[in-house]
Amino acid sequence: MSLIKFRPIILAGGSGKRLWPLSTKEKPKQFLELFGDLSLFDLTLQRINNRNLFSEPIIVTSKSYLPLVEQSLARTGIEVEKIYLEPESKNTYAALALPVLVSLEQNKSKSERYITMPSDHYIPFNKSFYESCSVIRDQFRKDALTLMGILPDKASTEYGYISYKSSYDGLKQVDSFIEKPNLERAKLLLKQPNTLWNAGIFCFEGSWLKKEIKINNPKVYSRLNEIVSKENLNETYFYPDPEEFSKLEDLSFDKGFVEFNKNNYVATLAAGWTDLGSWHTLSNLQKKPEHGLTLYSEGLYPRTEKPWGFFEVLLESETSKVKILSINPEQKLSMQMHEHRSETWYITQGVATITKSDEVVELYPGESIIIQRKEKHRIENLHDEVLEIIEIQTGSYFGEDDIIRFDDMYGRKDFH
């Protein structure tokens, strides 16, 4: 007897705001050709092209992204079960639940199993991904939700964490979920056993999910059913009624379902996973040629050494420029301002002491600040850890000579 397959639900409606200005509302990061001619969405489609494990996928996206989705389908040759075209974003609860309710209403098998995954994550080792999927399939829990977790390799504030109970089984019972922590908490979590990052990949049986939604969130269940009842369910393209869809709560699946579910399991995914959710992770991946990231050609934007450390340019266009600044311990930039650009600083490592006009603030990883054009400012690293900042410049001119210095510990008067 053949093994039951998973029906993939691929989420492709996100806007990728943290990678602005590379990722935009018109073309978010999942559709950017970051790997030669291929996007993260293309790679996701290729990954689920395994007929031993997966049925034809369901794609959930914004109706404005349909041309981008169709281009990827033509490029990869993947055939789909259905495409859901949301009139507006209502987060991941609706994006996961609606396709399942429609499938069950179409009298699909009540025992159909689903695997839901974001399309903007990078998984370089598909074989390891298949191995984790096989573990979940072979030890499948019908009345439970199974997640995929990543063994942390650093104290990250960018991800949620999963704590699980010790077991020799491939599937571990989840003990608790930890929201994105601050740096101090992340360092403690890194030292604890049985702790994983939450990859945002879920496996479940459709009839079980429907039952749980009906019991635990009857209001959402009723509104989803209103949408299901108004549509022709047999069409490949599913356009939810905009008026009914707008009544749905903006709710994440993690917040609205996972954290309240009493029966959660987790399987470890050791496949080089990263969500590429920030310029920091993107720039780190760019430095590893084996991944084939083609954000910019090697050597096009070399490192520029400075007395305080160095910077590298990650992206430059007519309207924006993105740099990574690395500031050594006990060093600081000059007090300065710019005539032609504003800057947004995202702290990715260390603690930044920022002077902004007459205000002095400390910023930690995950925090950000905006420096307006003609506003005096300075960055200092008063600690013993290297400070790393992603700097996004917007304006009309981005040359290094657009620096007016007021005070500099290195004695520089001009922009050099």
Q: Which CATH superfamily is domain 296-407 in?
A: Jelly Rolls (2.60.120.10)
Six token digits for residue 352:
């930044």
Encode the chain (416 residues) as per-residue pLDDT tens digits.
357 899 999 999 887 777 777 777 888 889 988 888 899 999 999 999 999 999 999 999 999 999 999 999 999 999 999 999 999 989 999 999 999 999 998 876 778 999 999 999 999 999 999 999 999 999 999 999 999 999 988 888 778 899 989 878 888 999 988 888 887 888 888 888 889 999 999 999 999 999 999 998 999 999 999 898 877 788 899 998 999 999 998 999 988 898 889 899 999 999 888 887 777 777 777 777 777 777 765 555 678 899 999 998 887 878 888 888 999 999 999 988 999 999 999 888 889 999 999 899 999 887 889 999 999 999 999 998 899 898 989 998 888 888 888 888 877 766 54
Cα-based torsion angle of the residue sequence 390, 396, 401, 404 in order, rounded to the nearest 10 degrees:
-80
Nearest alpha-carbon partner for 371 in 334, 346, 408, 406 = 346
249 is written with which tokens? Answer: 């709560």
What is the phi-psi region of residue 34: left when phi exceeds 0, alpha when psi lies from -120 to 50, beta otherwise? alpha
Asked whether 120 and 28 are in contact (CB, 8 A), the reply is: yes
Domain residue spans in the chain?
6-280, 296-407
Instruction: Report the CATH architecture of 6-280.
Output: Alpha-Beta Complex (3.90)
Which residues, 6+ apart, have CB-to-CB distance to 286 below 8 Å? 293, 295, 296, 314
**Could you tell me which residues come within 8 angstroms of residue 24 by beta carbon, excluding any fewer than 6 positions away?**
none
> pTM for this structure?
0.82
Contact 80, 73 (CB under 8 A): yes
